[in-house]
């Protein structure tokens, strides 16, 4: 086996794990890898949008519950970490940064 995909609970998606340098793969293996990897990367933008919404909801709750500052900030940091990991995964798979559609 030259690669595998492992489910990552933090980001709730599979992540590719390359076990043998791609230079040693045949065309079928390359096609199989990129086919599966691109299906995963196609899920990333919507997952990030969901997390952005969660982040904003938590941030707004901070305004209403200032006494819960540290707990809410910990949750915000967790969401930010997931978004960062998803962006890094997208870059790893696609070879480019995910573009924001916000203006």
For residues 70 and 10, what is the distance between their CA atoms, to the nearest angstrom?
Answer: 21
What's the pLDDT tens digit per position in 68-94?
999 999 999 999 999 999 999 999 999
DSSP structural state of residue 12: T
For residues 73 and 59, what is the distance between their CA atoms, to the nearest angstrom?
Answer: 8
Helix boundaries (H) for 3-102: 27-64, 69-94
pTM to 2 decimal places: 0.87
For residues 63 and 100, what is the distance between their CA atoms, to the nearest angstrom?
Answer: 26
Q: Would you kindly state where each structural domain of the chain is located, as residue ranges?
A: 3-94
What's the pLDDT tens digit per position in 14-41?
999 999 999 999 999 999 999 999 999 9
């Amino acid at each position: 086996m030259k690669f595998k995909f492992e489910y990552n609970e933090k980001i709730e998606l599979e992540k590719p794990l390359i076990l043998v340098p791609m230079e040693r793969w045949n065309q079928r293996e390359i096609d199989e890898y990129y086919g599966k990897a691109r299906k995963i990367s196609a899920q990333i933008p919507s997952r990030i949008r969901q997390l952005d919404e969660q982040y904003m909801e938590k941030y707004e709750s901070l305004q209403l519950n200032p006494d819960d500052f540290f707990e809410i900030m910990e949750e915000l940091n967790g969401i930010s970490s997931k978004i960062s990991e998803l962006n890094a995964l997208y870059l790893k798979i696609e070879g480019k940064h995910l573009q924001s559609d916000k203006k």
